[in-house]
Amino acid sequence: MEFTHHDVLRAFRERYQGSPLVVRAPGRINLIGEHTDYNNGFVMPAAIDYGTFFALAPATDGVSEIYSLKYNEPYTVDLAGEISPVRNPTWVNYLLGVIHQLKQHATLKPFKCVFGGNIPIGSGLSSSASVECGFAFALNELNALNIDRQKLVLMAQWSEHNFVGVKCGIMDQFASMMSKKGNVILLDCRSLEYSYSPLQLSGYSLVLCDTKVKHALVDSDYNTRRNECERGVERLRKHDPNIRSLRDVNESMLRKHEQEFEGKEFNRCLYVVQEIERVQAANRDLQNNDLKAFGARMFETHEGLSELYQVSCKELDFLVKIARKHSGVIGARMMGGGFGGCTINIVRTEEVDAFIADLVKSYRADFNLDAGIYRVSLENGVSVIQEQELNMIL
Ligand code: GLA
């Protein structure tokens, strides 16, 4: 089910009455820099025009309640009690973690909240980060806490680590909170320094193609990759105690010690070290307006993710193979954590329709599945939806 801010506002008025604060929290894409964030490398994400919407107001009866439109289910929160993860319903843990963090700062007012959105779940567009960030931002506004956006980003990530159990990097939450319309962010995940670059696609478009599959064990495989990288760092640190992450490593150092690595650790580290370099090179391409060179690097990233890092799957590989063969596509790769979800493609605008038709047909023939197609634009990070816009709707 997809919900817009109209649906969320209407549901709020039906259930609780009154005029809530309405917040939009976007999902994200990532142009390049995959699985580099938790290795202290660079990423290049941007928020998109798909999001989660929150309607939130102080509770008049003193009882805090969160209502999920998707699950059609309310959940009562005792703000005075201890906040810890629950077994059921699991959707509430994304939000409880945020409450836990905000409670360290201040006493929160009891509230009523309705939320829902239109980010396709499980397609690697960070619906979970948008839920965490949107809720953190909305509670911060409602309670006038004045916590800055970067702190809210860290709280949202904390929630994902500790209440959801995925040891994600910082990229998704940062993109959902900090993005700027029409721009990509180049984020240094070690220092959290960042800069915006306008994405000038002149004559090209961004197209996401959704495999519509999500293979099991996604979260545990993600955590395993993270551990493999950490083990690689420990091995290298024996030679140089200054090495704290794969950001401090280059390819020749890595190759010099190849024999000391076990299992797949070397390949995992090699991919990450190459990808960290690649993002910086891709950023130079972008500054030089060389979109073709940028696109070529996206194909390289896919190869690394598929062969060395092994987070792709046959469906993603297939969609990238089809894209590579198409004359209108200058760059394509799997995007996000992997094992399913979307590919991101840079396609000549004139050839977008032909590309989509070709891809959908081939995918159906081979996998008997309808690929999802999303044409996205780059949007601002989390924001309040102003009253004028809401009045125009209702
Ligand atoms: C998921 C995580 C991010 C990042 C990507 C892979 O989206 O939440 O932190 O690690 O995977 O780049």
Residues 115-131: tens digit of each pLDDT: 999 999 889 999 999 99
Q: pLDDT tens-digit profile of 8-48?
A: 999 999 999 999 999 999 999 999 999 999 999 999 999 99
What is the three-class DSSP state of 302?
Answer: helix
∠ CA 238-219-162, rounded to 5°: 80
Q: pLDDT tens-digit profile of 338-351?
A: 999 999 999 999 99
> Does the active-site annotation cover 172?
yes
Please identify, in words, the CATH class of the domain defined by 5-199+382-390.
Answer: alpha beta
pLDDT at 392 over 80: no
Provide the pLDDT confidence category of residue 388 given band limits of 50, 70 and 90.
confident
Ligand 1 center–CA 64 separation, angstroms: 31
**Hey, CA dihedral for 146, 151, 157, 158, is it positive or negative?**
negative
Please identify, in words, the CATH class of the domain defined by 204-378.
Answer: alpha beta
Could you give phi then psi for residue 154, rounded to 5 degrees? -65, -35
pLDDT at 245: 98
- Cβ neighbourhood burial of 190 (10 Å; 0-12, 13-18, 19+): middle
Q: Give the C-alpha separation, 341 to 371, whole Å.
A: 10
pLDDT at 221: 87
pLDDT at 219: 73
Structure tokens at 53: 């919407």
Ligand 1 center–CA 336 separation, angstroms: 5
The arithmetic mean of pLDDT across residues 94-116, rounded, is 97
Domain residue ranges of the chain, discontinuous segments joined by +:
5-199+382-390, 204-378
pLDDT at 178 over 70: yes
Taking Cα atoms as reference points, which of 208, 218, 192, 56 lies closest to residue 128? Answer: 218
pLDDT at 394 over 60: no
Among 7, 172, 210, 317, which one carries the catalytic annotation? 172
Atom of ligand 1 nearest to the CA of 34: 12
